[in-house]
């Protein structure tokens, strides 16, 4: 019988990495970065706890670095198989590796740890990319196969069904929120699953409904403009940024907000938005036709300014408020947002709008938890700006959506909870036991399960 060993995202959100050994093949699902106070925690620099040469193939759920960030490293350590993922995932992964490299280069100045891989290693890892389509069987041996399904989390994201030695394992990857504005809704689970590895980022939380998240965004924007303040939106370059641009496009076109300068201050997000413009086949077209009302450029509108270069980014300072700045990175532990936090957090006319998940120990988590002073660069900065969080813009399902998704599976035998904080997992596991009556396990790092 096949076995699975958990090498990441155990009782925490980052570092997804699962090794499955079957009779004929050994498969790795995801190989992401461990993240926290630093973009790349020290743990990433250890050798992988298995022989990378023994892994036949990798199945990659989506492009986020906490799922894909260590793949160039496994290639350096001897992996020579295929990396299967959807075409948009593979394209986005290239950009996210490049970006990760730049951030690790900056961390190198502070920690003396060389980046996990060089640019040429990332380029080399691309040789192993093998694009897949949703819903198609991919044979990994003559009998074992995988099928990718739309997870509705970010462009190209998947949950993956792996049938190995006759057992059916499903890897949730990250499951999207309800009614994502751009991409399609999460597909249903297949039947007769022996084991489901389920993410539990928001396993113990409920988000605002979609109508409410829009109303809150409109209110926050209007309030900041009225106060002649600066609205800072730290955003992940993939999906969050495009959804926020899409919302601003809608608000500006409908005349709901006055035209003020809106800066997209992230070279990565600017590039990724171009990828979104190309990959129209992955969109939820019905919603967009209604929301876009004939507007063919969903991510562009009067007032939007793209700041590619550092010089242009610095020029934002001289633009008088009110103004809106969307900058990476999403958890505020690196990227251009940090310079804006330093400048604008001390002023009570300004607002920091948090729309994405904040991992433990990140600057974002500290602010969200109400710290009044936060360390930035070499000093402490007072948090006097208003801090507003809208969970409804999260790219992750909340408890209600996760329960209905899991509940959609007929004859699901067992669940392992991954990709969540320990306390959330305990609570979520009790909820699953109570409402769905499915046995649930919370694996420890390095532990294994036979299927």
For the chain, the distance separating the N- and C-terminal CA atoms, rounded to the nearest angstrom, is: 6
| Backbone angle region of 446, left / alpha / beta, with phi > 0 → left and psi within -120 to 50 → alpha | left
Measured from the CB atom, the residue of 2 and 156 that comes closer to Zn ion is 156
- Binding span for Zn ion by CB under 5 A among 57-65, 221-229, 296-304, 351-359: 57-65
Measured from the CB atom, the residue of 11 and 30 that comes closer to Zn ion is 30
Least distance CB 33 / Zn ion (angstroms)? 12
* Nearest alpha carbon to residue 326 among 299, 293, 287: 299
Measured from the CB atom, the residue of 154 and 438 that comes closer to Zn ion is 154
- Binding span for Zn ion by CB under 5 A among 58-66, 228-236, 288-296, 298-306: 58-66
Least distance CB 2 / Zn ion (angstroms)? 25
- Binding span for Zn ion by CB under 5 A among 18-26, 81-89, 174-182, 376-384: 174-182
Measured from the CB atom, the residue of 276 and 344 that comes closer to Zn ion is 276
Which residue shows structure tokens 């040429």?
A: 120
Give dist(CA 18, CA 382) in Å, integer.
Answer: 41
Structure-block tokens of residue 434: 């109570």
Least distance CB 67 / Zn ion (angstroms)? 6
Measured from the CB atom, the residue of 22 and 203 that comes closer to Zn ion is 203
Least distance CB 318 / Zn ion (angstroms)? 36
- Sign of the CA dihedral running 35, 38, 39, 44: negative
Mark out the alpha helices in 136-284 (DSSP H runs). 210-226, 240-253, 267-278
Least distance CB 237 / Zn ion (angstroms)? 12
Measured from the CB atom, the residue of 158 and 440 that comes closer to Zn ion is 158
Measured from the CB atom, the residue of 29 and 381 that comes closer to Zn ion is 29
Residues 183-202, interacting with Zn ion (CB under 5 A): none
Question: Which residues does 270 contact at the CB level (< 8 Å), separation at least 6?
Answer: 264, 306, 308
Measured from the CB atom, the residue of 64 and 240 that comes closer to Zn ion is 64
Give dist(CA 88, CA 94) in Å, integer.
Answer: 10
Residue 174 interacts with Zn ion (CB under 5 A): yes or no: yes
> Would strands 129-132 and 323-327 be described as parallel, antiparallel, or unpaired?
unpaired
- Binding span for Zn ion by CB under 5 A among 64-72, 137-145, 231-239, 411-419: 64-72
* Nearest alpha carbon to residue 257 among 289, 220, 291: 220
Structure-block tokens of residue 388: 């507003």
Name the percent of the chain in helix, strand, coil, to the closest 5. Answer: 35, 20, 45
Measured from the CB atom, the residue of 244 and 438 that comes closer to Zn ion is 244
Least distance CB 40 / Zn ion (angstroms)? 16
214 within 8 A of 433, measured Cβ to Cβ: no
Give dist(CA 225, CA 236) in Å, integer.
Answer: 23
- Binding span for Zn ion by CB under 5 A among 62-70, 137-145, 243-251, 379-387: 62-70
- Binding span for Zn ion by CB under 5 A among 31-39, 52-60, 63-71, 221-229: 63-71
- Binding span for Zn ion by CB under 5 A among 26-34, 173-181, 230-238, 246-254: 173-181
Residues 224-283, interacting with Zn ion (CB under 5 A): none
Measured from the CB atom, the residue of 35 and 224 that comes closer to Zn ion is 35
Reported as type and span, the H/E element at residue 425 is: helix 422-435
Give CA angle at 181 (175, 183), nearest 5°: 55
Least distance CB 147 / Zn ion (angstroms)? 20
**Sheet bearing 26-31, strands edge to edge:** 129-132, 82-86, 57-59, 26-31, 17-21, 3-6, 448-450
Least distance CB 16 / Zn ion (angstroms)? 9
Least distance CB 386 / Zn ion (angstroms)? 28
- Binding span for Zn ion by CB under 5 A among 7-15, 40-48, 60-68, 315-323: 60-68
Measured from the CB atom, the residue of 22 and 69 that comes closer to Zn ion is 69
Give dist(CA 233, CA 329) in Å, integer.
Answer: 10
- Sign of the CA dihedral running 85, 90, 92, 97: positive
Least distance CB 236 / Zn ion (angstroms)? 8
Measured from the CB atom, the residue of 64 and 70 that comes closer to Zn ion is 64
Number of residues that bind Zn ion (CB under 5 A): 2
Least distance CB 407 / Zn ion (angstroms)? 22
The residue from 38, 57, 64, 167 that contacts Zn ion (CB under 5 A) is 64
Least distance CB 12 / Zn ion (angstroms)? 14
* Nearest alpha carbon to residue 428 among 198, 146, 164: 198
Distances (CA, A) of 325 to 156, 232, 266, 312: 27, 5, 10, 13
Chain residues in the site for Zn ion (CB under 5 A): 64, 174
């Amino acid at each position: 019988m096949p076995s699975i060993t958990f090498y990441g995202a155990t009782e925490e959100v980052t570092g997804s990495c699962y090794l499955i050994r079957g009779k004929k093949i050994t498969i790795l699902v995801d190989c992401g970065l461990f993240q926290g106070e630093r973009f790349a925690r020290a743990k990433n620099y250890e050798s992988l706890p298995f022989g990378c040469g023994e892994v036949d193939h990798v199945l990659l759920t989506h492009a986020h670095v906490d799922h894909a960030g260590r793949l160039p490293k496994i290639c350096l350590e001897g992996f020579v198989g295929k990396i299967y993922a959807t075409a948009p995932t593979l394209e986005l992964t290239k950009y996210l590796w490049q970006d990760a490299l730049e951030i690790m280069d900056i961390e190198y100045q502070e920690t003396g740890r060389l980046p996990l891989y060089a640019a040429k290693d990332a380029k080399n890892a691309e040789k192993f990319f093998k694009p897949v389509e949703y819903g198609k069987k991919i044979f990994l041996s003559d009998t074992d196969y995988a099928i990718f399904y739309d997870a509705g989390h970010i462009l190209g994201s998947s949950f993956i069904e792996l049938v190995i030695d006759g057992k059916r394992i499903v890897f949730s990857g990250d499951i999207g929120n309800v009614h994502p504005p751009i991409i399609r809704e999460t597909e249903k689970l297949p039947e007769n699953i022996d084991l489901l590895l389920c993410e539990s980022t928001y396993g113990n939380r409920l988000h605002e409904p979609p109508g409410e998240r829009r109303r809150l965004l409109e209110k926050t924007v209007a309030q900041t403009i009225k106060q002649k303040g600066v609205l800072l939106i730290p955003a992940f370059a993939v999906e969050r940024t495009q959804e926020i641009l899409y919302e601003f496009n809608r608000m500006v076109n409908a005349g709901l907000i006055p035209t003020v300068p809106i800066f997209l201050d992230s070279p990565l997000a600017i590039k990724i938005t171009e990828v979104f413009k190309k990959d129209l086949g992955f969109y939820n077209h019905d919603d967009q036709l209604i929301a876009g009302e004939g507007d063919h450029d969903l991510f562009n509108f009067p007032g939007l300014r793209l700041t590619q270069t550092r010089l242009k980014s610095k020029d934002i300072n001289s633009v008088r408020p009110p103004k809106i700045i969307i900058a990476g990175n999403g958890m505020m532990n690196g990227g251009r947002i940090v310079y804006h936090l330093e400048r604008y957090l001390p002023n009570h006319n300004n607002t920091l709008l948090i729309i994405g998940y904040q991992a433990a120990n990140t600057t974002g988590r500290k602010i969200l938890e109400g710290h009044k002073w936060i360390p930035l660069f070499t000093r402490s900065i007072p948090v006097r700006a208003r801090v507003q969080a809208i969970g409804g813009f999260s790219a992750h399902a909340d408890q209600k959506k996760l329960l209905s998704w899991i509940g959609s599976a007929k004859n699901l035998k067992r669940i392992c909870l991954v990709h969540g904080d320990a306390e959330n997992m305990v609570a979520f596991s009790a909820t699953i036991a109570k409402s769905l009556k499915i046995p649930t396990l919370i694996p420890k790092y390095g532990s294994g399960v036979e299927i």
